[in-house]
Amino acid sequence: MNYHRISHIDDPLFKKMHELMQEVFPPEEVLEYSLWKEPLEDPGIRVFAAEVNGEVVGATEYRYYEDFNVAMTDFTIIGHPGQGIGRFLAQQRQKDLNALAIANGKVLYGMFAEIYDPYQVDHYEFGGVKPMDPYVRREVLSHLGYKRLDFRYVHPSWNNDGEAVSGLDLCFMPSDEEQAELEAGLIVAFLKRYYTVLPNKPEAWTEMVGQLEQQDKVALLPL
């Protein structure tokens, strides 16, 4: 299994990766094909495919923010069960992020992720791939060390239509597993940076950010 970075929309593996995304994610979570050109060419956005014999069997996208010293996992896709794809992607991603932090003269502070809450919304089938089932993924990510940030989370739809998307938690995996809270200012700065690409912010998102701006810390809770 190869860990192949995709940095251009014309990479033959990108079309296969995008098709896989459409199979496993709800439509509002998938950026339209042509809109991927700039993100793929952005050196700060790291898109990797797990490739076997020219086929994409999994993929992950993430980014490292040098000024925040945190990462964000945009998505992880496991295309087939029983092949160790999830573990392979997690290990390769962590190695890459640790190297980026070291090059920045730091130890990685932690990593954000939006994680589906199947107890809120349980109708997502994710292409029928069992490792992508929200209940399974939530438990796996909990074992990896992710914790839920203690506030009601919404995010702007990737359709950029101004709709608020719910049914997810914003989570954080601290490098220090004993860490019990996170600076609210970091969360606000991260969210504003992350969603700069979507100008049509829903009112619910703006209100959520405004409430966070009134806080000092946010608790990290078990998933």
pLDDT tens string 16-42: 999 998 888 777 778 889 989 998 999
Q: Exposed, middle or buried: residue 80 (CB in 10 Å: 0-12, 13-18, 19+)? A: middle
Rounded CA gap, 167 and 187, in Å? 19
Please tell me the predicted confidence (pLDDT) of residue 127: 47
Q: Residue 130 pLDDT more than 60?
A: no
Residue tagged 């069992």 (tokens) = 130
**Contact yes or no for 93/62 (Cβ under 8 A):** yes
The mean predicted confidence, pLDDT, of the chain is: 89
Q: DSSP letters of 28-58?
A: GGS--GGGGHHHHH-TTEEEEEEEETTEEEE
Q: What is the pTM of this model?
A: 0.84
